[in-house]
């Protein structure tokens, strides 16, 4: 059965944190694989997200633009990647479980947990989106019937990614458009 929780909002005047609360609820829940896709991400948010993937068996797939980030965002992401590389030296499974793709054409914003639920909408994973902008998203449970379509969409995004930020020395096949 499909269940929809709507709206998930960020509304600065009302100081609502619906999106961040739902995002944290997903990240802190029990799951095997989390997929996060957003053009713009905050390094601190990603560092906190990654803490939950160190030294366990969970998988994480991340897709961002990276090259189109503001300088301060890119600097924080680079710090996050350094921390991730350091952690991978202690636990080599991290390089198999956490994969961070760069797709300069990504505009979609969503989080999928175990192909069972999705949080999607206008929210980037940035301070501005979470605290300043007027954003609107929805959370849907029971999406397993849509796994084939969502998986094909994600596969296309990954196939058209230009590189990986992590793991290092990983190649992504570029396709000519």
Of 53, 19, 9, which Cα lies nearest the Cα of 33? Answer: 53
* Residue 141 resides in a domain: yes
pLDDT of residue 15: 65
Q: In what order do the strands lie in the sheet with 33-37?
A: 3-10, 135-141, 117-121, 110-113, 33-37, 59-64, 98-102, 163-166
Looking at the DSSP bridge assignments, the partners of residue 59 are: 33
Residue 173 lies in a domain: no
Residues β-bridged to residue 98: 60
Q: What pLDDT does 13 receive?
A: 59
- Cα 68 to Cα 35: distance, rounded to the nearest angstrom: 21
Pairing of strands 163-166, 33-37: unpaired
The CATH number given to whatever domain includes residue 80 is: 3.30.870.10
DSSP state of 117: E
Number of domains in the chain: 1
Range of the domain at 150: 3-166
pLDDT at 138 over 60: yes
Name the band, by pLDDT with cuts 50, 70 and 90, for residue 14: low
Could you tell me which residue, 27 or 55, shows the higher pLDDT?
27
Neighbours of 79 (CB within 10 A): 14
In a domain, residue 160? The reply is yes
CA distances from 25 to 19, 29, 85, 104, 161 (A): 10, 6, 26, 28, 28
What's the CA gap between 9 and 13, in Å, rounded? Answer: 12
133 within a domain of the structure (yes/no): yes
Question: Is the residue at 8 inside a domain?
Answer: yes
**What average pLDDT score do residues 122-151 get?**
90
Residue 156 has pLDDT above 80, yes or no: yes
In a domain, 121, yes or no: yes
For residue 78, tell me if it sits in a domain: yes
- Range among 11-15, 61-65, 132-136 with highest mean pLDDT value: 61-65
Residue 176 lies in a domain: no
pLDDT, residue 11, reads: 67
- Beta carbons of 37 and 110 less than 8 angstroms apart: yes
Q: 3-state DSSP call for residue 127?
A: helix
More confident residue, 69 or 177: 69
pLDDT digits (tens, 9 = 90+) for 18-45: 888 898 899 999 999 999 999 998 888 8
For 58-108, how does the pLDDT look when each residue is reduced to its tens digit (9 = 90+)? 999 999 998 767 788 888 889 989 999 999 999 989 999 999 999 999 999
Residue 7, preceding peptide bond in cis (omega within 30° of 0): yes
Average per-residue pLDDT for the chain: 87
pLDDT at 168 over 80: no
174 confidence band (pLDDT: 50, 70, 90)? very low
């Amino acid at each position: 059965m499909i269940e929809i929780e709507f709206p998930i909002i960020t509304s600065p005047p009302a100081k609502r944190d619906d999106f961040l609360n739902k995002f944290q609820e997903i990240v802190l829940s029990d799951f095997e694989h989390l997929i996060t896709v957003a053009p713009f991400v905050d390094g601190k948010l990603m560092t906190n997200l990654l803490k939950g993937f160190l030294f366990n068996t969970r998988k994480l797939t991340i897709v961002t633009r990276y090259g189109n980030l503001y300088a301060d965002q890119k600097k924080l992401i680079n710090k996050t990647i350094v921390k991730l590389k350091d952690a991978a030296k202690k636990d080599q499974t991290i390089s198999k479980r956490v994969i961070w793709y760069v797709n300069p054409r990504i505009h979609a914003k969503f989080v999928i947990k175990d192909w069972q639920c999705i949080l999607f909408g206008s929210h980037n994973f940035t301070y501005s989106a979470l605290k300043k902008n007027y954003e609107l998203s929805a959370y849907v449970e029971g999406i397993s019937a849509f796994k084939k379509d969502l998986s094909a969409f994600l596969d296309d995004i990954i196939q058209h990614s230009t590189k990986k930020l992590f793991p290092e020395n990983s190649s992504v096949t570029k396709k000519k458009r």
